[in-house]
A and B are shown apart, each in its own frame.
Chain A
Amino acid sequence: MTVAIEARQLSLRRQDGWSAARHSVLDRIDLRIPEGAVVGLVGRNGAGKSTLMRCLLGLQTPDEGNAWLLGEPSLALPDSVRERLGYAAQTPDLFARLTGLEHLDEMAAIYPNVDLRGAAALAARLDLSLGKRADTLSLGDQQKLAVVLALAHDPDLLLLDEPVASLDPISRRDFMRALFAMRRKPEPRTVLVSSHLLSDLERVVSHVLFMRDGEVQLFIEWDEAVENLRCVPARERDAMALHWSDAQGGRALVDVRQWPEAAGEPGLSMEDLLEVLNT
């Protein structure tokens, strides 16, 4: 297995207001994401999802620990790796005075693989006009443009931070199709995508990464989670359980392979899992 994204003990702390207390934004994150995985990054607001992405990309320096993208250290990525990365930040990072086409031209001047025709086709599919200046676009259209730009050079590794939050359901479907259709190389692309729209993620992810309070709670293949994870009533924490929640009289998240009596319990949606992991 080739690892596309790796983190070891990645930690970042932040000073909290006036107090001297330092609060963990990322808490000793260990992570190994295999090449070709499509990973949904899921957690409540403030769980550390955006910070994790920024640290993985080397845009923010961790207090401790290290990260690697495509085998190279995040804080010293060579151009050969940068060319293979695509990233769309939560707040689209665009040049206000440039049109979509001008953004693509700028990209084509830097990246060798920019596929202008493919990008135009994707824009058309998402119902985005490339002729308008970025500062005249709605937030939804700015997000679409950021996604078109992140995909234009056929990156091997794509990091998307809440890319679809402002898109309507039809555009979201088209966006998910584009994740796979905009691929010219035979090897599948590795994708890390954060979103609160979990029913969208359920369609496309191979893995899901649950974060809470700066920690990785669970990193699992989604098919495996659907088939094997169940909730059972439990008054107390059990060492065999993956997680214990005191809500609703106590519930334990268990794997039916270790907990056969849970097999009769109903399966959990991604939203169900998020809820139990956050209570």
Chain B
Amino acid sequence: MPSPSALLFDIQPQLATPIYRQVVEQVQRLVAGGQLGPGDELPSVRAVAERHAINPMTVSKAYSLLEAEGLLERRRGVGMVVAAHAQPARAGQDRLALLEPALLAVARQAHQLGITPAQALKALERALQSTEQDSP
């Protein structure tokens, strides 16, 4: 595992989601998607705070919540790692649940723009294809 990068997270303070929740949800997604596996190190609180110019307490709060949830473990001398028994979500249902907030936002905007469901689905398909081409 390469050294953990504080760039792992995409933090958008202007979003209507508190920063600590953005970190929690992103770790959940990265574990569910298998990008972070058991034993993988999370970037340190200090590194994440420094990189994104945010309050370290906010990052601590997110990590503590994930620890309480059983997704992360505190390992002496290393910091936070993904818990040994944390599994990528096998049932597609769990992963879909994590995608739901983003889907709802897209649906709302499509409705406001007067885009038909068929048009919206086609656009989503195109977006999916273009991200697949981008990633190796």
| A266 neighbours in B (Cβ, 8 Å) | 16
- Given A222-B18, A226-B18, A38 contacting B50 (CB threshold 8 A): no
- Given A223-B18, A223-B20, A199 contacting B57 (CB threshold 8 A): no
Q: Is the contact region of chain A dominated by helix, strand, or loop, or is it mixed?
A: helix
Is the Cβ of B13 less than 8 Å from the Cβ of A176? no
User: How close is A102's CB to chain B, nearest CB, in angstroms?
Assistant: 30
| A73 neighbours in B (Cβ, 8 Å) | none
What total of chain B residues lie within 8 Å of the partner, measured CB to CB? 19
Is the Cβ of B16 less than 8 Å from the Cβ of A203? no
Is the Cβ of A206 less than 8 Å from the Cβ of B55? yes
A151-200 at interface with B (beta carbon < 8 Å):
173-174, 176-177, 180-181, 188, 199
With the chains together, A260 CA to B58 CA distance in Å?
26
Is the Cβ of B18 less than 8 Å from the Cβ of A203? no
- Say yes or no for B115: interface residue by CB 8 A criterion: no
- Given A177-B50, A181-B50, A223-B20, A199 contacting B55 (CB threshold 8 A): no
B3-29 at interface with A (beta carbon < 8 Å):
13-21
- Say yes or no for A118: interface residue by CB 8 A criterion: no
Is the Cβ of B53 less than 8 Å from the Cβ of A227? no
- Say yes or no for A36: interface residue by CB 8 A criterion: yes
**A contact set with B: CB distance below 8 Å:** 36, 38, 173-174, 176-177, 180-181, 188, 199, 202-206, 222-223, 226-227, 266-269
Task: Give 17 new A-B contacts, CB below 8 A, not counting A36-B57, A173-B53, A180-B50.
Answer: A177-B50, A180-B55, A188-B57, A202-B13, A203-B19, A203-B54, A204-B54, A205-B55, A222-B18, A223-B18, A223-B20, A223-B21, A223-B61, A226-B18, A267-B15, A267-B17, A269-B14
